[in-house]
Structure 1
Amino acid sequence: MRIALIDSGIGMLSTAAALRAARPDADLYLSMDPDHMPWGPRTPEEVIGRALAGARAATRAVAEDGGRLDAVVVPCNTASVHGLDALRAEYEPGVPVIGTVPAIKPAAAAGTPIAVWSTEATTRSAYQRGLVETFASNLEVTPVACIGLAEAVESADPRRIADAVDYAAELTPPEVRGVVLGCTHYDLVGQRISEALGGRAALFTAADAVAAQTLRRIGTAEPPSARAGRVRVLASGRPAELPAAALNYPAGRSLLDGARADR
């Protein structure tokens, strides 16, 4: 089983770790784009181009290994909003393409006030407003623009992370009992977010659901084999190692044993 994950940076790690836990025999191709990150401020056309470039680089790496790609996963809300149609036009129906949607629906199921933590661009987007209107129209929903948090997580700088998390926590009303992490970078600092909120709110992320949907779309009924899957890393199409920042997070360290440079 060979699965490509496409993102600008290490926000993909939580989804990659979930896939690794569910199918330790799968080969994961982590196609990052450090030359052009972050993708959030870019135009939709630029994001589409970068997502396609990342998927094509992973496809070439799989072919070099003598295999065939089984799925393309986009563990990035920005790239999912703008790039899924283009990726599906290129890869489906032969190769399923799975995007990432903020977990507003499960967060709203409890019927209590929720907050949606996301980037500034996503907070302003019609995409997020549409999800709230569809799944949480009867609830009090607070959008929280987490200024600088994704960039702080990417840097793995504890002080920057703490400052950005504390800023967002201050904007989160005390009555909130569920917080949707609307950017996959935020998953990597979930414990720090829970602490900043005083443990009063459950966190809702998409990583496990995306991993489960990926395996459903691949459709294999076979149990995992004893073979340990490899993790290959691409940096804007080049052979690479896991970024040093990734190893600051449990999700990144969980991938280390299988990782090697794509040589």
Structure 2
Amino acid sequence: MVTERLPAKISEKSEEKKIAPASPIGIFDSGVGGLTVLAEIMRQLPNEDVIYIADSARVPYGGRPPEEIIKINQELIPYLIDQGVKLIIMACGTSSSIAYPVLKDKYKVHIIGLIEPGVRAALSATRSGTIGVIATAGTIHSQAYQKTLQSMKKTGLPAGREIKIAAEACPLFVPLIEGGFIETEETRKVAKEYLKPLLKEEIDTLILGCTHYPHLVKVLNALTGGKVVLVDPAEEAVAEAKGLLQKAGTMKGKTFPPRYEYLVTGSVAQFQDVGSRLLGKLITHARQARLPTPERSDGGQVHLPLK
């Protein structure tokens, strides 16, 4: 098996590679969730090459402290930049809510998070102004969606319209999805419990605040009776990326077929199996990526030492 070693340290001012239309887009997530973003890239930017990091050795991110989330992002972002990416999408709701505000301006490559794109889409979709948010515990506790909804409502809603926000952490969704338990009875029961307080508030729009959650669209639609608009921030985020590439003149043409490179810090076999089913395309060439100096704790998950 080919192994890609992620370097222990890369300076934020590491030597830049020249960005060109043929340069890839970089995306990362704690596992298969970011494949929802990749699917949008395939749809909206079908010619683009992509480097995808699935940091499944540390899944889920949602229960980790903010400083650890930032540390993880400080490892993955410079690595992607070192690979010559022209743009990075944080294909992870937890990273977008916690690390994006801290790191978005620290690198010369443009970084796109998911919070503002998701909020824009939700404000456009809501009729009543009552918006629900489901996400990891880390994202909900950060108040990122709640604060951004309040700050953007003036430009996204008719004058005088107020919004009501109902938020719910859904910590079991990511492990269920990573395990491939998508449309099972267990998943339906868990989802029903998570949605109860939100439906009680009569939401008409629901932000799927973790990139794993769009994989549960069928389950969520069934439980809401199709009466709630489900907002996937990936669509708006990739549209933003497309606009930036067009403006910079760095969109890749149809010269060569797109290449998708997958680097996985956890089980390659599991990523390929579950990822292929979720993406709807066969993934057969993922590579193992080793994290620097890992320390094993917490049931065998990989934690990098914080400094």
Task: Specify the TM-score bucket, using the shorter chain as the normaliser.
Answer: 0.7 to 0.9
Is the contact made by 1:177 and 1:202 (CA closer than 8 Å) also made in structure 2? yes
Please say if 1:115 is aligned against 2:137. Answer: no
Q: Tell me which residue corresponds to 2:61.
A: 39
SS in 1 for 2:212: helix
Tell me how many residue pairs correspond in the alignment. Answer: 250
Q: Tell me which residue corresponds to 2:204.
A: 177
**Greater displacement, 133-142 / 10-19:** 133-142
Quick one: distance in 2 between partners of 1:160 and 1:54?
A: 33
Normalised to the residue count of structure 1, the TM-score between the two structures is: 0.83
Alignment of structure 1 residues 78-89 onto 2, 5 Å: 78-84=94-100, 87-89=103-105
Q: Tell me which residue corresponds to 1:146.
A: 170
Is the contact made by 1:23 and 1:224 (CA closer than 8 Å) also made in structure 2? no
Deviations 1:174-220 (A, max 9, x none): 53221111111111111221111111111111111111112222333
Q: Tell me which residue corresponds to 1:65.
A: none
Deviations 1:20-66 (A, max 9, x none): 11222211111121222211222222112212222344345x3xxxx
- Indicate how the Cα distance of structure 1 residues 87 and 204 shifts in structure 2: closer, same or farther if over 3 A, else same: same
Q: Tell me which residue corresponds to 2:286.
A: 261
Quick one: distance in 2 between partners of 1:147 and 1:85?
A: 23
Q: Tell me which residue corresponds to 1:162.
A: 188
Q: What RMSD over aligned residues (CA atoms) do the two structures have, in Å? A: 2.6
SS in 2 for 1:81: helix
Please say if 1:104 is aligned against 2:116. Answer: no
Please say if 1:246 is aligned against 2:275. Answer: yes
Deviations 1:126-152 (A, max 9, x none): 323312322458123221222411221
Deviations 1:52-100 (A, max 9, x none): 222344345x3xxxxx3111110112112332355445531xx211111
Quick one: distance in 2 between partners of 1:124 and 1:88?
A: 20
Quick one: distance in 1 between partners of 2:78 and 2:185?
A: 36
Residue 55 of structure 2 aligns with an amino acid whose one-letter code is: D
Q: Tell me which residue corresponds to 1:70.
A: 86
- Indicate how the Cα distance of structure 1 residues 261 and 245 shifts in structure 2: closer, same or farther if over 3 A, else same: closer
Is the contact made by 1:29 and 1:232 (CA closer than 8 Å) also made in structure 2? yes
Quick one: distance in 1 between partners of 2:137 and 2:198?
A: 15
Find the partner of 1:234 among 251, 263, 268. Answer: 263
% identical equivalent positions = 20
SS in 1 for 2:249: coil
Q: Tell me which residue corresponds to 1:58.
A: 80
The structure in which a higher percent of residues are helix is 1
Is the contact made by 1:33 and 1:54 (CA closer than 8 Å) also made in structure 2? no
Is the contact made by 2:121 and 2:231 (CA closer than 8 Å) also made in structure 1? yes
Please identify the structure whose Cα radius of gyration is greater: 2
